[in-house]
Structure 1
Amino acid sequence: MASDLLSVSIDFETSHLYFPTLVHWILGILFAVILLTRVVPFMAAVRRGERTLPIIGESRDNKRFFGTFALIIAYFYLMDVVGNLFPYTGYGFLFVSMAFVLLMSLLYLHKWTRKTLVIVAVNAVVAPALVWFVLAKLFTITLP
């Protein structure tokens, strides 16, 4: 009897499902709380005419809006293409991330001066190189 109290029995067939299920329920409850406390009152204010829906009816910068989508799609596509040229090195991530950061920064840059262009170029090289070094070399995480 005493040995039963001190022994632990684990069902390895289903034990790995416990925490994902718990996390899903917690996220679902938090989502419901957000809906009830934020979205429902906001939509009620929209119906009363006190607030407007964001984005709808507002002007937007189409060049930046669609440029961002195009750059993100190209980023993920080209990361695979370039990564296949240099398999298991992470150079696909490194080179494509450098180009992505440069182009995204230039897309959102308002004042094009020599100083800001140098800052953008240095950031486009240093930030992805630092991330690549930490992930690929220090933590030996395989990158595309």
Structure 2
Amino acid sequence: MDSHWLSLFDVTIDFSQSHLFFPRIVTTLLGILLVMILVTRYRRIVPALRHAGRVVGGREGSFDRKRFFGTLVLVTLYFYLMGVLSDVFPNTGYSFLIMSVLFVFSLSLLYAERLSRRILLIITLNALIAPAIAWYVLAQLFRITLP
């Protein structure tokens, strides 16, 4: 009988799946919150989505397609290529650092109204310094595993 009760306190960890524990909790909570928002704000959300669809479709208002779709492409490439690079540099955070530098630089170029040497210098410095600081704080100081 004792061995049965003691088995309740045995902990086994499946390391191939353990990293998915908190993302599953967060995803579930975000899904619940989304459903609650949709249920409570339905009358406001549906007209807003219809209006957004007309704007994106070009039937109403002004819409910067280059920046909108460029942002979607850059974000998609950012996450995809970070996964590809994480196979090259596993568990070092270098793929996060490299892709974040490229992403911030590309996104800044996309949203720049006009380019001059000064603005290009600022964009370049921002793209190098901001991700490097984020990488250092997260990966080195807090020891958070980055892709």
TM above 0.5: yes
Q: Secondary structure at the match of 2:145?
A: coil
Matched, 1:76 2:83: no
Write the distance in 2 (CA, Å) between the matches of 1:25 and 1:90: 28
Q: Judging changes above 3 Å, is the alpha-carbon distance between structure 1 residues 113 and 24 closer, same or farther for their aligned structure 2 residues?
A: closer
Q: Judging changes above 3 Å, is the alpha-carbon distance between structure 1 residues 135 and 29 closer, same or farther for their aligned structure 2 residues?
A: same
State the AA in 1 paired with 2:42.
Answer: L
Match of 2:100 in 1: 97
Using the TM superposition, give the Cα deviation of residue 29 of structure 1 relative to its aligned residue in structure 2, in angstroms: 4.2
Write the distance in 1 (CA, Å) between the matches of 2:69 and 2:31: 36
| Contact 2:38–2:45 (CA under 8 A) maintained in structure 1 | no
Using the TM superposition, give the Cα deviation of residue 24 of structure 1 relative to its aligned residue in structure 2, in angstroms: 7.4
State the AA in 2 paired with 1:33.
Answer: T
Match of 1:53 in 2: 51
Identical-residue share of aligned pairs (%):
46
State the AA in 1 paired with 2:51.
Answer: L
Root mean square deviation of aligned Cα: 3.0
Q: Could you list the runs of 5+ residues in structure 1 that have no partner in the other structure?
A: 1-11, 13-18, 44-51
Match of 1:135 in 2: 138
Instruction: State how 1:1-144 maps to structure 2 within 5 Å.
Output: 27=33, 28-36=35-43, 38-39=44-45, 53-56=51-54, 57-58=59-60, 59-144=62-147
Partner deviation per Cα, 1:17-62 (whole Å, 9 max, x = no partner) = xx98xx67983545433335x347x57xxxxxxxx81351233222
Q: Secondary structure at the match of 2:146?
A: coil
Using the TM superposition, give the Cα deviation of residue 137 of structure 1 relative to its aligned residue in structure 2, in angstroms: 0.8
Between the two proteins, the alignment pairs up a number of residues equal to 117
**Greater gyration radius:** 1
Write the distance in 2 (CA, Å) between the matches of 1:64 and 1:90: 28
Partner deviation per Cα, 1:69-122 (whole Å, 9 max, x = no partner) = 211111111101112111111000000110000001101100111221111111
Length-normalised TM-score, structure 1: 0.67
Write the distance in 1 (CA, Å) between the matches of 2:128 and 2:120: 12
